[in-house]
A and B are shown apart, each in its own frame.
Chain A
Amino acid sequence: MRIVIAEDQFLLRDGLIRLLEAYGFEVAAAVDNGDDLLTELRASRPDVAVVDVRLPPTFTDEGLRAALQARRELPGLPVLVLSQYVEQLYARELLADGAGAVGYLLKDRVLDGGQFTDAVKRVADGGTVMDPEVIARLLARNAGTRSPVARLSPREREVLELMAEGRSNAAIAQRLVVTERAIAKHTAAIFTKLDLQPSDDDNRRVLAVLAYLGQQ
């Protein structure tokens, strides 16, 4: 699988290259600023891009904007955005086009190599990966007593959280140490309670849940 990396800090860039190559990815290019990133994405059309939000020259949100621009030109281009801090605002912008194949993670998650590369693969396959901290805040916002989310049982909330992070039923089952069938029952109940259209397509499902949680 071909990857383009955009990260301006040398140590982290080097670390990412090593990590991804160790897990069998092919690093097609590693750039350190927003303009080069855009050029590279247009030219090499990788299977997935791993991009830091903050890049030169402005050190603001160069990476994010380059990623959004690239996705406008190449719809559905899988991009995993890494950041030192997560903002719901940025998550919304990434999810806005509804095409999926997008991820938004705290750089802390890179510390666990297995989970990180798993996330990269999920995004490359068209899935959505949201950092648990973004999801936690999103759920906290929806926790008002009048919101349908409050009517979910604690177990259902756990499942909802993991679904919103972008995990498949199998992954959720493994995480919560229950059978996949139990998870399927929970998700059906969740979709009914939230009045959402159930979907077999995992990717569509995540987007639906995130869209639902994101709206106010």
Chain B
Amino acid sequence: MNGPVAPAASPDSPARSARRRGAREALGSVLLAPPRALAFFGLSLAGLVLLVVAIGPVVLAVSGLWHVIQDISGQGLGGQDGQDLLNALVGLACCRFVLPTALIVVRWLASLTRRLAGRWCAVAIREAYAPEPVSAATARGSSEGLLDLILRGHGRITYRQRITWLLNDRATWKDLLWLAVSVIAGPVLLIAPIGLMVGGMAAFLAVNLNGFDRTSGAVLVVVGVAAAPWLLRAYVGLARLVLAPSESAALEQRVAYLAQTRQESLDTGAAELRRIERDLHDGAQARLVAMGLTLDAAGRLIDTDPAAARSLLIEARDASAKALAELRDLVRGVHPPVLADRGLADAVRALALDSPARARVTGSLDGRPPAPVESAAYFAVSELLANVFKHAAARSADIDLRHSLGALRITVRDDGDGGADPGRGTGLRGVERRIAAFDGVLAISSPVGGPTVITMEIPCDLS
């Protein structure tokens, strides 16, 4: 329920439209509160089911085993004991086959709750799950659908690895706690206002229902409508209290992220060096060798056949021009001179000039980011531009460059077919990795058919 802060009343339209927008948003959040509350309640009911599915077998197994042990140590197997043994076995079987999946579904439910809290009530709840243990062949780059999450793990890592990973993660226990809390808080915070509204409405329509007359019915409805958003907010606040990670969990996550991006950075660097060595070896070096041979041949022919010698010399000159061209391209692919000389803004403008279709550059920078950031941003933009015209079949692209709030912000917008997806091998994953090494993030908005907007944000200072 965060409307924009409206400036003091003034006749000019930007302020007025801002206020109108604020009023619209406030109205929207009031009207949408009951359905959203119902949605959250539905989630909490689903959570209850999951809780039973997750905890139930454990309880069953433990109690069954307990009784079996008691019976064995006490009397010996009897009729009731068969039942206990069956309970124990069923419980254990569930633990073996159902529990990991159930815990993962719990995790997914908690993530959904976090996402909805962020989207509907603008309450950001961070996630800090321990990374999944890696098996020899790990799935790469697939989007995290629920089915993927469940199926991907099966058969790849052992049961013990999975269950240890899930149970050792403090976040799993927090999620389970949230399920329990939500079952209790749900009816109080979510259903109560709805109940008031429904009851009031019923009293309003059917006069004299249970001693409530029209006025008190109307009052109940109003109270319900007014209370719903606030109670929803309270519910979401409670969610944040339970689901947000602790300081040390957040730090652990940060360390894992840094380790991963560092590794990727090193891998990329090594691959780049190999590529340069290969290009030099196969390209310029080979040409220079050929040139040497040609010059040698020309030297031998210069007295006996000057015409042939001359044509060989011309050939050698052409070879040197080609070698120069290849070296130029190589340098461009490593660190373009215009980037080093003029900085990121001009280098992006040069990119736009070189792109095969219309590309406009807006915005400017008041200084220069650190050289590695400049380089990463430049190659990221270069890759995004290439994508625009290769995959999206767009006719034009707009690039905006600016620096605000301590971060370099670059937006690439095109009017193509949309549908950009990091998982589909369009190099977007590579761009993400490239800027992740500098704590950069990539945001993609690419509905199918609609325009694509890709925003990069890299925290840095300008010198």
| A92: B residues at CB distance < 8 A | 353
Is there an interface contact between A108 and B324, defined as CB atoms closer than 8 Å?
Answer: yes
| B337: A residues at CB distance < 8 A | 54, 84-85
Partner of A143, one of B342, B353, B356, B395: B356
Number of interface residues of A (CB under 8 A): 20
Partner of A144, one of B341, B342, B356: B356
For the complex, is B177 an interface residue (Cβ under 8 Å from A)? no
Within 8 A of A (CB), among B327-368: 328, 331-332, 337-338, 340-342, 346, 349-350, 353-358, 360
Q: Which residue of A lies closest to B324 (CB)?
A: A108
CB contact under 8 A between A60 and B341, given known A89-B349, A111-B317, A141-B356: yes
Sorting the interface of chain B by its residue count into under 10, 10 to 19, 20 to 34 or 35 or more gives 20 to 34
Q: Given contacts A85-B338, A137-B354, could you give 4 more A-B pairs where the C-beta distance is less than 8 Å?
A: A61-B341, A84-B328, A87-B353, A141-B357
Closest Cβ–Cβ distance, residue A55 to chain B (whole Å): 11
Within 8 A of B (CB), among A120-140: 137, 140
Closest Cβ–Cβ distance, residue B155 to chain A (whole Å): 51
Is there an interface contact between B356 and A111, defined as CB atoms closer than 8 Å?
Answer: no
| B331: A residues at CB distance < 8 A | 85
For the complex, is A216 an interface residue (Cβ under 8 Å from B)? yes
Interface string of A90-120 (1 = CB under 8 A from B): 0010000000000000011001100000000
Complex Cα gap A149–B108 (Å):
55
Q: Which residue of B lies closest to A137 (CB)?
A: B354
Is there an interface contact between A60 and B350, defined as CB atoms closer than 8 Å?
Answer: no
Complex Cα gap A3–B141 (Å):
60
Is there an interface contact between A111 and B320, defined as CB atoms closer than 8 Å?
Answer: yes
Complex Cα gap A112–B328 (Å):
19
For the complex, is B52 an interface residue (Cβ under 8 Å from A)? no
For the complex, is A44 an interface residue (Cβ under 8 Å from B)? no
| B332: A residues at CB distance < 8 A | 85
Q: Which residue of A lies closest to B314 (CB)?
A: A112
Is there an interface contact between A89 and B355, defined as CB atoms closer than 8 Å?
Answer: no
| B321: A residues at CB distance < 8 A | 108, 111
For the complex, is B23 an interface residue (Cβ under 8 Å from A)? no
Q: What is the interface of chain A, defined by CB distance below 8 A to chain B?
A: 54, 60-61, 84-85, 87-89, 92, 107-108, 111-112, 137, 140-141, 143-144, 146, 216
For the complex, is B325 an interface residue (Cβ under 8 Å from A)? yes
Could you write out 24 A-B pairs with CB less than 8 Å apart? A54-B337, A54-B341, A85-B328, A85-B331, A85-B337, A85-B338, A88-B353, A88-B354, A89-B342, A89-B350, A89-B353, A107-B324, A108-B321, A108-B324, A111-B317, A111-B320, A137-B353, A137-B354, A140-B356, A141-B356, A143-B356, A144-B357, A144-B358, A146-B395
| A140: B residues at CB distance < 8 A | 356
Is there an interface contact between B356 and A61, defined as CB atoms closer than 8 Å?
Answer: no
Interface SS of chain B: helix
| A88: B residues at CB distance < 8 A | 350, 353-354
Complex Cα gap A84–B341 (Å):
13
Closest Cβ–Cβ distance, residue A102 to chain B (whole Å): 18
Is there an interface contact between B354 and A141, defined as CB atoms closer than 8 Å?
Answer: yes
| A87: B residues at CB distance < 8 A | 338, 350, 353
| B350: A residues at CB distance < 8 A | 87-89
Closest Cβ–Cβ distance, residue A167 to chain B (whole Å): 20
Interface string of B94-122 (1 = CB under 8 A from A): 00000000000000000000000000000
| A112: B residues at CB distance < 8 A | 317
User: Could you say which of A61, A140, A141, A144 has the most chain B C-beta atoms within 10 Å of its C-beta?
Assistant: A141
| A216: B residues at CB distance < 8 A | 358, 360
Complex Cα gap A92–B353 (Å):
10
| B358: A residues at CB distance < 8 A | 144, 216
Q: Which residue of A lies closest to B343 (CB)?
A: A60
Complex Cα gap A108–B340 (Å):
22
Interface string of B200-238 (1 = CB under 8 A from A): 000000000000000000000000000000000000000
Is there an interface contact between A108 and B325, defined as CB atoms closer than 8 Å?
Answer: yes
Partner of A60, one of B325, B342, B395: B342
| B341: A residues at CB distance < 8 A | 54, 60-61
| A144: B residues at CB distance < 8 A | 356-358, 395
Is there an interface contact between A61 and B342, defined as CB atoms closer than 8 Å?
Answer: yes
Closest Cβ–Cβ distance, residue A33 to chain B (whole Å): 16
Partner of B355, one of A54, A111, A141, A146: A141
Q: Which residue of B lies closest to A141 (CB)?
A: B356
| B320: A residues at CB distance < 8 A | 111
| B317: A residues at CB distance < 8 A | 111-112
Complex Cα gap A84–B355 (Å):
21
| A137: B residues at CB distance < 8 A | 353-354
Complex Cα gap A140–B349 (Å):
16
Is there an interface contact between B342 and A141, defined as CB atoms closer than 8 Å?
Answer: no
| B328: A residues at CB distance < 8 A | 84-85
Complex Cα gap A33–B342 (Å):
18
Interface string of B312-328 (1 = CB under 8 A from A): 00000100110011001
